[in-house]
Amino acid sequence: MKFLLASSSQYRAELLKKLGIDFTQFSPNIDESSQKNENARHLSVRLSILKALEAAKHFPEQTIIASDQTAEVTTGANSGSQQHSHQPSYILGKPHIQVNAIEQLTNLSGNSALFYTGLCLLTPVSNLPSTIQSTLSDLPDLSISTLHKFLSTLENLVEEDSQNSLKNNECLITLKLNHEELTKQYYCQFLVDIYKVTFRKLNQQSIENYVTKEQPLDCAGSFKSEGLGIALFESMRGDDPNSLIGLPLIKLCSCLNKIGYTVV
């Protein structure tokens, strides 16, 4: 089975290498802007699916691994719950420039943020063992014409259950390939991993020193938890610390098992 990581991120590539998977990389070009009234959880899953589908148009025979991360900041909310509170909240994106990174960390000082890491594993049905193909018949089969309607109602399909996992997180998608009249059916698994970070009270000098040293300009939240960013935290809570870096490996292994690929 051939794998493709639909991301140019060196951080995600390093994480995926931990699993010993042989893969190539491709950076899909999609519109990553949020929709009206879209929350961070929904955005991370929707963009993960769109990245995977865009990559599949260029590499139709490969199994696509796609991920996207967003963050939601709730000011003044440092409670232990991961549920949304009634405090004002907003989506936090990548800063891209230093002044934005400093502003993000200034706003995060003394506050908590929920980091949503979406994951999509898109596998050509024809590449699956027949024993697995036979189990997919009851899944919804979406054409590209119905896909956008599906994505617009995705929030109803990604609500958390009591184990912080997702319900109804799979479907079939029939995709028209680029410059061809051919279509191909894919088995799509999608989910989100949630990680909560509470930041220490940070002074301006510490924030500026950190941004200058580590330049976390391509990271949502303006930090690298695998590096000096750990010094900014008061606490971290979640199931998989890899998801905070950009790829939820524990859930990815579960998805791989469902397509008959075992890591160990």
pLDDT tens readout for residues 199-228:
999 999 999 999 999 999 988 889 988 889
Respond yes or no: is residue 68 known to be catalytic: yes
Distance CA 175, CA 160 (A): 28
Which residues of the chain have a pLDDT value below 70? 75-88, 144-145, 147-168, 178-180
Predicted pLDDT at 231: 93
Report CA 158 to chain centroid distance, whole Å: 13
Predicted pLDDT at 75: 61
- pTM of the predicted protein model: 0.85
With contact defined as beta carbons under 8 Å apart, do 118 and 190 qualify? yes
pLDDT in tens, 118-149: 999 999 999 999 999 999 988 888 876 676 66
Predicted pLDDT at 115: 92
Query: b/e for 5-41, b at 16 or more Cβ within 10 A?
Result: bbbebebbeebbeebebebebbebebeeebeeebbbb
Catalytic residue among 22, 31, 68, 141: 68
